[in-house]
Chain A
Amino acid sequence: MANSSAEQLVEQNNHLRELLSKENKAYYEDILIYMRTLGLFYNELETEKQLMMILQDILEAQKHGESAESFFGKHPKELVDQITKQYDRPSWKSIFKMSGWLFLISSLFVFIGSFTAPLLQINIFVLSMNGVFSIALIYGVFKLIHVSIYMKAKLPKFIQFFILWLISMLSFGVFFLIQFYAPKQGIVKVGPPIDWILIIGVVLTAVLYISTKKKREFYGALAFILTLGIFGLLFRIPQTREYLQNDQNQIYMMLGVILPFALFILINLFTLWKMKDDQKA
């Protein structure tokens, strides 16, 4: 029998979970989030295998008229802690791999965001500080969710929302500060024809990668990269540049900045909504 991958298990879990009753689902989803947010670097497959086993057992208990709580136990936090305590410590390899990915994605966003600037330039300091901060931020958010799941006193909704808002604003602030106060010595200017090659290269790689993966989670990012790439090129082709950068056509400059972000957010929201819908089906 072929063993499933972590990705397949997540997919199956999403479908099977819908069979749980309302209370059982709430109980199980706390376990699920608690286990998945344990850390960024743990073996995903190990977690998903455990989660699937627990889900199948709770479903069977439900079929026999037993609630999730009475089957799994009254103190889920302590019980799950016993399970995760036995996980292998994350290997350095997995820590480097995951950090590397997050670093790459954050750098790519900074890099692509500068496509529409008149002169393509990259600040090495911005790139590396952004990367490090992104990793720290995601790690921190994971830990925060992990700790909050089984907190003794549940905070009121508006305080939860306020904390979330505060974290987002502070993070924006840090990214903003990095962008504007990073030492200018780190700037690397990329003139033609290298900027052309880089833009076309990044866009093509993104399109190829995402179209082979066929994952709709990436479609928002694809639109973002494509629009910025196209605008970046239009601002560089002499004939179109003159037209677009004409004073009366400020609107195109604005469009080049706003459209990619708007598409990114809209497509992601739509995908999220579609995915929720599919799960219920």
Chain B
Amino acid sequence: MKETQLLKGVLEGCVLAIIKRQQVYGYELVQIMRDYGFTTIVGGTIYPLLQKLEKQGLIKSKELTSPDGPNRKYFFITAYGEEQLMNFEEQWNSLIIKVNRIVENEESE
């Protein structure tokens, strides 16, 4: 299975978690994701995601001055976004337990 396909739903939670820790702009976010090992992540997959999260009110953006060139668009998490992130973490934790149980069972057979 392709990693990107498996990743689709999880990616939003990851992006939220990163933005909760620090305000980011597009390029920076892609680099952070890559540093965590998501080496196949490209800008093109991140932009629609940011857009979607912003439309849903989970994050908000603000133009801040940047040392080089015009203002840059930075993203911040909203209170609603933090709430949804907590939901995601809960669901994720219960999901890995279930998935691991199945996968480990398979290995021991």
Q: Which residues of A does B touch, CB under 8 Å?
A: 1, 3-4, 12, 16, 49-50, 52-54, 56-61, 70-76, 78-80, 82-83, 85-86
Contacts and interface: CB of A to CB of B under 8 A. Distances in A.
B48 A79 contact: yes
Interface stretch (B9-17, B61-69, B80-88, B96-104): B61-69
For the complex of A and B, list the 7 residue pairs with the smallest distance between their C-beta atoms, beginning with the closest.
A79-B44, A73-B44, A73-B42, A82-B48, A57-B27, A72-B43, A57-B26
Contacts, number: 77
Nearest to B62: A1
Given A61-B27, A86-B52, A86-B55, A56 B72 contact: yes
Q: How many B residues touch the partner, as a band?
A: 20 to 34
B42 A52 contact: no
Contacts of B43: 54, 57-58, 61, 71-73
B63 A79 contact: no
B70 A86 contact: no
A58 B62 CA distance: 20
Q: Which of A1, A60, A80, A82 has the most CB of B within 10 A?
A: A60
A222 B72 CA distance: 37
B47 A3 contact: no
Nearest to A61: B27
Contacts of B70: 4, 12, 16, 52, 56
Contact of B27 (A4, A16, A60): A60
A56 B65 CA distance: 13
Contacts of B62: 1
Contact of A1 (B45, B55, B69, B71): B71
B30 interface: yes
Contacts of B45: 73, 79, 82
A31 B63 CA distance: 22
A79 B51 CA distance: 13
What's the dominant secondary structure at chain A's contact region?
helix
Nearest to B41: A73
Q: Which of A12, A58, A70, A86 has the most CB of B within 10 A?
A: A86
Interface in B30-68: 30, 42-45, 47-48, 51-52, 55, 62-66
B26 to A, nearest CB: 5
B63 A16 contact: no
Contact of A16 (B26, B42, B69): B69
Contacts of A49: 73
Contacts of A58: 43
Given A53-B73, A56-B27, A57-B30, A1 B48 contact: no
Contacts of A12: 69-70
A56 B62 CA distance: 15
B48 A83 contact: yes
A227 to B, nearest CB: 39
A24 to B, nearest CB: 13
Contacts of A54: 26, 43, 47
A236 B51 CA distance: 59
Contacts of A72: 42-44
Given A1-B63, A1-B71, A73-B45, 5 more contacts: A3-B63, A57-B27, A72-B44, A73-B44, A78-B44
